[in-house]
Structure 1
Amino acid sequence: MKNKFKIVLYIIIVLILGILAFFFWAKSPNLDKSEYAKVMKFDGNESSKNNNDSTISLITYNIGYLSGMTNNTSVRPTEEFYDKNLKDIIGRLKKYPVDVLALQEIDFGGNRSYHVNQYQELAQALKFYNGCRSINWDKKYVPFPYFPISVHFKKMLSGQAVMSNFEIVDYERVVLSRVQSQPYYYSSMYLDRLVERIKVKVGDQEVMIFNAHTEAFDQKTRTQQILFLKDWFLRTAETMPVVMLGDFNSDPSYDNAAILEMYDDDRIGAMCSKEDLLCDKTLTYPTDKPIEQLDFVFFSTKHFELLDWKVLYDLGEVSDHFPVYTSLKLK
């Protein structure tokens, strides 16, 4: 009996040690942190922007790693599915040539999207001059979705990116506040919420662009992040033109919706007015039947005049979000 107990105890100890070893390996990064923020010029692509032009056109787009409506579900699309969505998004975005394309949830060679560097593929195909990318999710093995095991994301390398025909003169990757209520094992596997700070040259004027992706699941943390971004926006706008865009994960209909804080200061302009929030033409999520408005473009009213904007519904279901197009003119 004692020998059987020892054997069972030994097996339990080995299993626990194995699980712990797997956990610490799985949460370890693929890249050194020095690689998490990078500016690139794309070979063979030249800037098509007239240096004297005072207009700036932008698209913000959470591309959901091109997984369509399967994003974060227990479905493993085929490699052909991703290839088709990549070709579709390239073809459809070519109809909207812009100066700045800001992306969220883009993969840089992770397993879930079959190791394709979507950033490189899009930038080259759309002929952008330069760009920057930030890693916000770098893990050896992400066991999500939880069941079945065959749909696990496994190697994860994902984040945010900006592509531009304006020269990028300064760039910074900034990690936003984390959810404090999450247990250690969950937090260790969770992504960083980021804002990319990009300074570009528009003619002889420098413009600051913020590409943000705030917390999706914890309202308290999301509110903290959006208030931080609003304060940073206003402080920066004291000295230069500012555009802040991205997926804010804050629908105006939510209780105490933090995104409304951006509408309560006349120094901040938005692509749509407060009266137009949640209209049919402004909803961005989900793409099969949009009912929420999560994606926004804001600008400093002191420096910009709004020329045009629209949600690009013709981009279809290559993501679970629709992109937002905006055109601005420097005053």
Structure 2
Amino acid sequence: MKQFLLKVLYFFLFLIVASIVFFFWAKSPNLEKSDYAKVVQFDNSQKTEDDSTISIISYNIGYLSGMTNNTSVRPTEEFYQGNMDKVLKDLRAHRPNILALQEIDYGGKRSYYVNQFEEIGKKLGYQNGGMTINWDKTYVPFPYFPPSVHFGKMLSGQAILSDYVIKEHERVELARVRSHPYYYSAMYLDRLAERILINVGGQDVMVFNVHTEAFDVHTRELHISFLKDWFLRVEEKMPVIMVGDFNSDPTYKEKGVLEFYNDDRIGAMCSKEGLLKEGTLTYPTDTAVEQLDFVFFSTKHFELVDWKVLSEFGQVSDHFPVFTKLKLKK
């Protein structure tokens, strides 16, 4: 009996040690942190006209996983390639000067090791692009069951593809969720604001690509307040555009995107009166019921020319992209 109990004890000790070793291995990064923000030059000679009009698409592409995003479904490699082909075709039809992407993979296992940033940047003929990493883990054991659907090697983030020369590029980590236990926080992604400086029609313009906290309300409120304050500080000096997945529907009771709408210095692609109407909802793409994706701009610098939620992209992602055209005021 004593030998049996000893074997049981050793077995549980082995499980504990193995779990600790696996945890620290799994949470280790693939890249150095110095590689988390880069400007990449593409071999494209296309030049942007020296014009005061700028077109932007903000798109949470959900690593091209469609409505399987964060579910216990492992789509085939052909599924991802089909979605890549469709998104390239649809983006060519609208081809913005600035393409801001969230949840884009840089060669992770879940999307079959394709660098979606390079694929899209090169095939759409962009001059350069800013890449930022916000999720870098050796092995992510999610979705939890079955193990065959685990994300595994994770390398994902945000990106801004640009026809304009990127003069400055910055990756800024937003506040982390404080309520997460250590083991969860260690495997969780960073929420980011990606910032670039470009020149449009002879004038410097600051562009932000943001992705705020989705699940913790208090943390998302901190993100929204921080981003609005940053927007207004930049707006005093130069034209500013802030786009992205704000994870905040106008109907949410907590502090959210309406903070932007309630300030006359900030314009939006969609008027406050037009919120949550047919054609403005962006999530989810099977039956859209929320408006989470926005384009904001400084009203003293820009006038709105056109905007549209591009629902024709279908279920390539669980979000629809938002197209906006702005013109610098003289």
What is the CA deviation profile of residues 82-116 of structure 1, one whole-angstrom value per residue up to 9, with x for unaligned ones?
A: 00000000011100011100000000000000000
One of 319, 322, 330 as aligned partner of 1:321: 319
Q: Which residue of 2 aligns with 1:42?
A: 42
Task: Note the residue ranges of structure 2 that are not aligned, 5 or more in a row.
Answer: none
What is the CA deviation profile of residues 175-223 of structure 1, one whole-angstrom value per residue up to 9, with x for unaligned ones?
A: 0001100111111110000010110111211100000000000111001
Write the mapping of 1:151-300 to structure 2, written as runs, cut at 5 A.
Answer: 151-300=149-298
How far 1:281 moved relative to its partner? 1.2
Distance 1:220 1:262 in 2: 17
Question: Which amino acid letter does the alignment assign opposite residue 27 of structure 1?
Answer: K
How far 1:257 moved relative to its partner? 4.3
How far 1:56 moved relative to its partner? 0.5
Distance 1:139 1:97 in 2: 33
Distance 1:62 1:303 in 2: 26
Equivalent pair of 1:60/1:101 in contact (CA under 8 Å): yes
Q: Secondary structure at the match of 1:231?
A: helix
Distance 1:9 1:316 in 2: 54
Distance 1:305 1:316 in 2: 29
Write the mapping of 1:89-100 to structure 2, written as runs, cut at 5 A.
Answer: 89-100=87-98
Q: Secondary structure at the match of 2:12?
A: helix
Distance 1:48 1:98 in 2: 13
Equivalent pair of 1:47/1:166 in contact (CA under 8 Å): no
Q: Secondary structure at the match of 1:166?
A: coil
Q: Secondary structure at the match of 1:266?
A: coil
Equivalent pair of 1:133/1:161 in contact (CA under 8 Å): yes
Q: Which residue of 1 aligns with 2:11?
A: 11
Q: Secondary structure at the match of 1:10?
A: helix
TM-score, scaled to structure 2:
0.99
Distance 1:286 1:192 in 2: 23
Q: Does 2:41 match 1:29?
A: no
Question: Which amino acid letter does the alignment assign opposite residue 198 of structure 2?
Answer: V
Q: How many residues align?
A: 329
Question: Which amino acid letter does the alignment assign opposite residue 196 of structure 2?
Answer: I
How far 1:279 moved relative to its partner? 0.5
Q: Does 2:151 match 1:150?
A: no
Distance 1:47 1:263 in 2: 36
Question: Which amino acid letter does the alignment assign opposite residue 213 of structure 2?
Answer: E
Question: Which amino acid letter does the alignment assign opposite residue 50 of structure 1?
Answer: E
Question: Which amino acid letter does the alignment assign opposite residue 12 of structure 1?
Answer: F
Equivalent pair of 1:64/1:320 in contact (CA under 8 Å): yes
Q: Secondary structure at the match of 2:72?
A: coil
Question: Which amino acid letter does the alignment assign opposite residue 267 of structure 2?
Answer: G
Q: Secondary structure at the match of 1:287?
A: coil
Root-mean-square deviation over aligned CA pairs: 0.7
Q: Secondary structure at the match of 1:317?
A: helix
What is the CA deviation profile of residues 29-74 of structure 1, one whole-angstrom value per residue up to 9, with x for unaligned ones?
A: 001101100001102x0242112x0011000000000000000111
Distance 2:183 2:20 in 1: 11
Q: Which deviates further from its counterpart, 26-35 or 254-263?
A: 254-263
Distance 2:137 2:233 in 1: 35
Question: Which amino acid letter does the alignment assign opposite residue 226 of structure 1?
Answer: I
What is the CA deviation profile of residues 140-164 of structure 1, one whole-angstrom value per residue up to 9, with x for unaligned ones?
A: 1101111111100000000000000
Equivalent pair of 2:266/2:297 in contact (CA under 8 Å): yes
Write the mapping of 1:85-164 to structure 2, written as runs, cut at 5 A.
Answer: 85-164=83-162
Distance 1:64 1:318 in 2: 8
Q: Secondary structure at the match of 1:209?
A: strand
Distance 1:288 1:12 in 2: 46
TM-score, scaled to structure 1:
0.98
One of 28, 43, 62 as aligned partner of 1:64: 62
Distance 2:90 2:261 in 1: 31
Q: Secondary structure at the match of 2:194?
A: strand
Distance 1:202 1:167 in 2: 10
